[in-house]
Amino acid sequence: MTNPVETVAAAVSAAGAPTRGARRISSGYSWPECPRWHEGTFWFSDMYTGTLKTLDPDGAATVVVDATGRAAETEVPIVLGGFGWLPDGRLIVVSMHEKLLLVHGGGAPDDLSVYADISQYTLAAANDMVVDANGRAYITQLGFDIFKGDEPVASPLIVVDPDGTVSTPEKVDALMCANGIAISEDGTKVYTAEVMAFKITVMDRAADGTLSNAREFATTPFMPDGIGLDADGGVWVAMPGGGYVARFTDQGLTHAVSLPLENGIASACLLGGPDRKTLYMTAGFEVFDFEKSAREAQGSIWVADVEHSGGTTRP
């Protein structure tokens, strides 16, 4: 089998992409994912602890959302995936294995209720999510039980409209394990990482939120996971096991940040900071054994300063 680190390193070298290193700013997490920058604060999902956390400027974490109490109501693991904010300020978050979209009422960390039931369209686990300016949520899903080693199958995006209606896009075919998802600064495009297709897919987004014209934006040298956009048309991509987070445009790979595997497996990335020119990266060591991941708490958050700004891209 081809070594992912060698494959990605060769692609970075072939592209002549400028490369910089990363610095760790916080650690002690299970499998950190879904980084967000919201109102001057960095947020992320500490997945296998069932919590969403924020970091202060010194890298200290605070639990803001805690779904662990829901474990008593269900037999599936409580794992929080993608999240975002509604126009009224409330936070909504994907409960991956419950196949639910939860809403945080703004009170205590466990102030959670069901916002939408997405189980009708979820084949296995729901995944990441981006919320548009009108409160419409676009949710990705794995489509198959990756944790049990099932064979990949294509599955649709899930859309939750501001009125709570749940559907799938009529004009976009099923995708091969869509993961990270983001909306361009002007709101006219939605990007997602198709993990099992080794590519970034872009779709046109109409003013009413309708998606259409899905097409390849860029191929990636290894499986893409979480993504973040910049205002200059670039897509920053974490490639777990590849040792790099890289930027792609429709012309190919343009920039790279090195995150060696001994420091963790990069799972997702996002541009944040006061000018949104700080690339935040989440990294972990154990994604398949939930209990071990939470117990060992080796996950960490890394940053690198880049020249491209996230602007008003979402998430």
Helix, strand, or coil (residue 28): strand
Half-sphere exposure at residue 288, Cβ-oriented, CA atoms within 13 angstroms: 5
Cβ distance 67 to 100 under 8 Å? no
Q: Rounded distance, CA 24 to CA 301, Å?
A: 6
Q: Rounded distance, CA 256 to CA 236, Å?
A: 9
User: Which tokens sit at 17?
Assistant: 């992409």
Backbone angles phi, psi at 277, to 5 degrees: -110, 15
Q: Would you state the pLDDT for residue 114? A: 98
Cis status of the peptide bond prior to 35, with omega within 30 of 0: no
Q: Rounded distance, CA 146 to CA 151, Å?
A: 8
pTM of the model: 0.97
User: Which tokens sit at 52?
Assistant: 């969403």
Helix, strand, or coil (residue 240): coil
Helix, strand, or coil (residue 295): helix
Q: Would you state the pLDDT for residue 152? A: 86
Half-sphere exposure at residue 76, Cβ-oriented, CA atoms within 13 angstroms: 14
Q: Would you state the pLDDT for residue 238? A: 98
Q: Rounded distance, CA 268 to CA 235, Å?
A: 12
Q: b/e string for 220-253 if b means 16 or more Cβ within 10 A?
A: bbbbbbbbbbbbeebbbbbbbebbbbbbbbeeeb
Helix (H) or strand (E) holding 192: strand 189-194
Helix, strand, or coil (residue 262): helix
Q: Would you state the pLDDT for residue 84? A: 98
User: Which tokens sit at 281?
Assistant: 């990266």
Residue indicated by tokens 């070298």: 13
User: Which tokens sit at 315?
Assistant: 């998430």
In the chain, which residues have pLDDT < 70? Answer: 1
**Domains of the chain, first to last:** 4-305 (2.120.10.30)
Cβ distance 266 to 17 under 8 Å? no
Residue indicated by tokens 């980084």: 35
Q: Would you state the pLDDT for residue 1? A: 55
Q: Would you state the pLDDT for residue 108? A: 97
Say if residue 64 is exposed, middle or buried (CB neighbours under 10 Å; 0-12, 13-18, 19+). Answer: middle
